[in-house]
Amino acid sequence: MTTGEVELRRGLKDVYLDRTEVSFIDGQLGKLLYRGYNIHDLAEHCSFEEVISLLLYGKLPTKDQLNQTLSFCASNRAVPAPVLQIVEMVKQAHPMDVLRTAVSALSAFDPAVEDNSLDALRHKGMRVTGQAATIVAAHFRIRRGLTPVAPHPTLNHAANFLYMLYGKEPDPDEARLMDVDFILHAEHSSNASAFAARVTASTLSDLHSAIVTGIGTLKGPLHGGAAESVMKMALEIGKPANAERYVKELLDSGGRVMGFGHRVYKAEDPRATHLRERARRLGEKRGHPEWYLILENVEKAMEPYRRRGIYPNVDFYAGAIYHLLAIPEDLFVPIFTLGRIPGWTVQVLEQLEHNVIIRPLLQYVGPMDLPFVPLEERG
């Protein structure tokens, strides 16, 4: 350790941590690939389970392999009763805090908790993905005084999540919308929560711990929590005509427009492209085009910021979609989590493939070698 000159990269900006074969981001072009496949193709043509299989096994699945993933996921969604009791006990907390607590508790019931073999990690990743949806939906119902709905035996992750929220099979278009939303959120290289999950895994801790780390990190408004802040902003704006003035006042007072900007993308986030169009169509279908129009006007007011590489990110239109699906704002970041657990899992797999403990340095700039003062002499 030195107290002399060092190269400091605050926030680890532009620092490469390792190599990856999972996702590629070209921030200048606004391009995102999972395992070499363009996110636009995956969002148009795949299901979330296909993407889980692609991420965890490295290849697009055959029909048989996809059926195996679907059936493994569908039969591993149940949550042990004591974990639901914990949800009941902490039900007044933010759903993200409830989810973090409950996923931590799941480890007590997972027979493979300490097994870090490749297959055990894949299976635990898929199991926790499904169980997390059961926890979020159970909490949604418990805090409304309703009985949780048991997972559906055959529906996919997205349709089953909506089914467990509302207790009825969802409209197929809306289930597909949620499916695409999960695909778009599934993986994003070394973002803050995936990096945090890797740090935990690098100590040879277990996958549940890494996922709990990821949940705690994703919650913040500079990361996954932004979708919740975007919808709060849209509600405050109230109508499309108010958007321009609202944005100006926010920026003039030094605030940030949530759902804009990205550490890597300096062009349009390709995930926002899909969500924008889907938010527009859902608003029309549900007879509430105003949320889309408010966000569209915020986007127009932010146009001058494009010169500085500040564009809408994945969180900007996601909130409007969830709102139109009658999902409360504090569930937005848990929903991001339900899509992202496979991403954290594959990052942990890669970290463990050639592990080295992640332990960077901090440059010490405090005082040195102070004379010790006994307690009774301190004034």
Nearer to ligand CMC, 61 or 319 (CB): 319
- The residue of the chain with the least Cβ separation from ligand CMC equals 261
Binding site for ligand CMC (CB under 6 A): 11, 191, 222-224, 226, 256-263, 310, 313-315
Query: Regarding beta strands 31-34 and 37-38, do their DSSP bridges make them parallel or antiparallel, or are they unpaired?
Result: antiparallel
Under 8 Å CB-to-CB from 266, ≥6 apart: which residues?
A: 27, 28, 309, 311
Q: Closest separation between CB of residue 267 and ligand CMC, Å?
A: 14
- What are the catalytic residues? 262, 315
Nearer to ligand CMC, 243 or 314 (CB): 314
Q: Closest separation between CB of residue 317 and ligand CMC, Å?
A: 12
Nearer to ligand CMC, 69 or 190 (CB): 190
Residue 312 pairs in a beta bridge with 260
Closest C-alpha among 151, 135, 160, 145 to residue 49: 160
CB-side neighbour CA atoms (13 Å) of 302? 26
Q: Distance between CA 167 and CA 156 in Å, rounded? A: 15
Torsions phi, psi of 358, nearest 5? -90, 115
Residue 108, both tokens: 């007590």
Q: Closest separation between CB of residue 314 and ligand CMC, Å?
A: 5
Q: Closest separation between CB of residue 162 and ligand CMC, Å?
A: 23
Q: Distance between CA 182 and CA 73 in Å, rounded? A: 15
Residue 260 pairs in a beta bridge with 312
Nearer to ligand CMC, 83 or 210 (CB): 210
